[in-house]
C-alpha cells in the first residue's frame, strides 16, 4: 500500500513548538506516512509559500495544522477551499488531566461546530452602509437608526450547511452508539431570540435528527447549554451548534477537563479533513518551551484514525493516556514542571 501524504503546517507564535514535539512522536512511531513539512508562519514568504502550501494540500491525504495568528494564511484554503464544514472537538477527560471539577471522570462527548458560516464570514462594516436597506427591527418595533457611528456584523445560517453538519453529527452519534454510546444529539442555539437564523438552525437540526429514529434528540437554548457544560457534562454525547457558539463553548468545555492544552480538534469535509488543536497560538508563552503539546498530539491521533491507521491512532492515544495516568513529565498548565520536549520524550517512552 502506498504511503499516506500529510502536509504539516506548524503555524505561528508558540504553536510550532507544540507541532515540533508532535512530529518527534510521529517520527518515532515509524508510520507509513510521507510528511511534507512547511516552516512556521513568520518565516513564510507570503504569496509564494501560500501557493506552494495550497498545491501541497491538494496533493495530500490530510493536513496537520498548528494554530495561526494570521501569518500562516492557508487556513482559509483548508477551511473554505476544502469545505471542511464539521469541526469536531472532543471533550474527553483522561485520568491525570488537571480538571477543576470534583468528578471529571467519564466526561466524554463531542462538540460538532459548523465551521463555514454564521458570524465568521467577515461581513462587517459601518452602520451607515445599511441605510439604503431601511431595516425594521422586530424588537424595537421600528426602523434601525443607522445615523449613529457604529459597526454591523452579518450572521448567515443556511439550510444546506445546517443539514450537512447535523447529518455529520448524527453519523458520529450512531458510530458512538454502536460502540456503546448514548446515541444522542444535542442541538443548541439562541432560537428564542434569533427566531429566524438560529430558529432555522434548530428546525433543520430537528428534522435531520428525526430521519434517524435510533438517535435521541435534545435541544437547549445556548445560555442554558453553557451551564450544562459545567454542571452536567456527563449527560452529553454529540452536540451540534453554529460556528460562534461552538468556538466559545468548546473553549469552556476544554476548561472543564483540563484546559486548552489538552483539547484536540478535526475539521472534516466530504473530501478532505485537517487536524489542529482547539487552542490558539499562545503568544504569551512563545519561546519558553512550555506549551503543552497534548492537544496537538491528540489531534494527530484523530488524524491517524481518519487515515485508516486505527491501531496506530490507538497506540498514540494509549501512550498519552499512560503518561498522564503516571503524572510524568507534565507541563506547567497541568501542574507539572516539565517542558514541551520532555513531555514528547515521555510519550515516546510510553509508545
Determine, following the binding rule CB under 6 A, whether residue 253 of this chain makes contact with ligand ATP.
no
Q: Which of residues 39-78 bind ligand ATP (CB under 6 A)?
A: 67
The binder of ligand ATP chosen from 45, 134, 151, 284 (CB under 6 A): 284
Determine, following the binding rule CB under 6 A, whether residue 347 of this chain makes contact with ligand ATP.
no
Applying CB under 6 A, the span of 26-34, 98-106, 277-285, 315-323 interacting with ligand ATP comes to 277-285
Q: Would you say 110 or 254 has its CB closer to ligand ATP?
A: 254
What lies within 8 Å, CB to CB, of 264 at 6+ separation is: 89, 90, 275, 276, 277, 278, 295, 296, 297, 298, 299, 301, 302
Question: Per-residue contact track with ligand ATP, 211 to 250, x per CB under 6 A?
Answer: ----------------------------------------
Rounded Cα distance, 158 and 206, in Å = 15
Determine, following the binding rule CB under 6 A, whether residue 291 of this chain makes contact with ligand ATP.
yes
DSSP state letters, 244-281: HHHHHHHHHHHHHHT-GGG-EEEEE-SS-EEEEESS--
The binder of ligand ATP chosen from 236, 257, 295, 309 (CB under 6 A): 295
DSSP state letters, 277-331: ESS---GGGTTSS----HHHHHHHHHHHHHTT-HHHHHHHHHHHHHHHHHT-S--
The binder of ligand ATP chosen from 4, 54, 279, 322 (CB under 6 A): 279
- Do the beta carbons of residue 333 and residue 284 sit within 8 Å? no
Q: What is the DSSP letter of 184?
A: E
> Measured from the CB of residue 233, what is the shortest distance to ligand ATP in angstroms?
20
Applying CB under 6 A, which residues contact ligand ATP? 18, 67, 251, 260-261, 279-282, 284-285, 291-292, 295, 333
Amino acid at each position: 500500500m502506498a504511503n499516506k501524504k500529510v502536509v504539516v503546517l506548524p503555524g505561528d507564535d508558540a504553536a510550532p513548538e507544540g507541532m515540533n514535539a508532535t512530529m518527534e512522536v510521529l517520527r518515532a512511531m515509524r508510520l507509513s506516512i510521507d510528511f511534507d513539512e512547511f516552516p512556521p508562519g513568520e518565516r513564510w514568504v507570503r504569496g509564494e509559500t501560500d501557493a506552494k502550501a495550497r498545491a501541497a494540500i491538494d496533493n495530500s491525504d490530510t493536513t496537520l495544522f498548528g494554530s495561526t495568528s494570521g501569518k500562516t494564511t492557508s487556513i482559509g484554503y483548508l477551511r473554505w477551499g476544502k469545505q471542511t464544514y464539521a469541526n469536531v472537538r472532543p471533550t474527553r477527560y483522561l485520568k491525570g488531566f488537571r480538571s477543576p471539577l470534583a468528578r471529571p471522570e467519564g466526561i466524554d462527548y463531542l462538540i460538532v461546530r459548523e465551521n463555514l458560516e454564521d458570524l465568521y464570514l467577515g461581513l462587517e462594516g459601518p452602520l451607515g452602509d445599511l441605510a439604503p436597506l431601511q431595516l425594521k427591527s422586530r424588537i424595537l418595533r421600528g426602523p434601525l437608526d443607522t445615523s449613529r457611528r457604529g459597526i454591523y456584523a452579518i450572521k448567515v445560517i443556511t439550510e444546506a450547511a445546517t443539514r450537512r453538519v447535523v447529518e455529520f453529527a448524527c453519523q458520529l452519534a450512531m458510530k458512538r452508539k454502536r460502540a456503546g454510546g448514548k446515541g444522542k444529539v444535542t442541538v443548541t442555539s439562541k432560537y428564542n431570540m434569533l427566531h429566524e437564523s438560529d430558529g432555522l438552525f434548530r428546525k433543520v437540526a430537528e428534522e435531520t435528527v428525526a430521519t434517524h429514529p435510533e438517535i435521541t434528540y435534545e435541544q437547549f437554548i445556548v445560555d442554558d447549554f453553557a451551564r450544562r457544560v459545567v454542571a452536567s457534562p456527563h449527560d452529553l454525547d454529540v452536540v451540534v451548534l453554529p460556528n460562534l457558539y461552538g468556538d466559545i463553548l468548546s473553549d469552556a468545555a476544554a476548561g472543564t477537563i483540563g484546559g486548552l492544552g489538552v483539547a484536540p480538534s478535526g475539521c472534516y469535509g466530504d473530501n478532505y479533513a485537517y487536524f489542529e488543536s482547539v487552542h490558539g497560538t499562545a503568544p504569551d508563552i512563545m519561546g519558553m518551551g512550555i506549551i503543552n503539546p497534548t492537544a496537538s498530539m491528540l489531534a494527530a491521533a484523530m488524524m491517524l484514525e481518519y487515515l485508516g491507521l486505527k491501531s496506530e491512532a490507538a497506540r498514540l492515544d494509549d501512550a498519552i493516556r499512560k503518561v498522564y495516568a503516571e503524572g510524568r513529565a507534565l507541563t506547567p498548565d497541568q501542574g507539572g514542571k516539565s517542558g514541551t520536549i520532555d513531555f514528547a520524550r515521555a510519550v515516546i517512552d510510553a509508545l
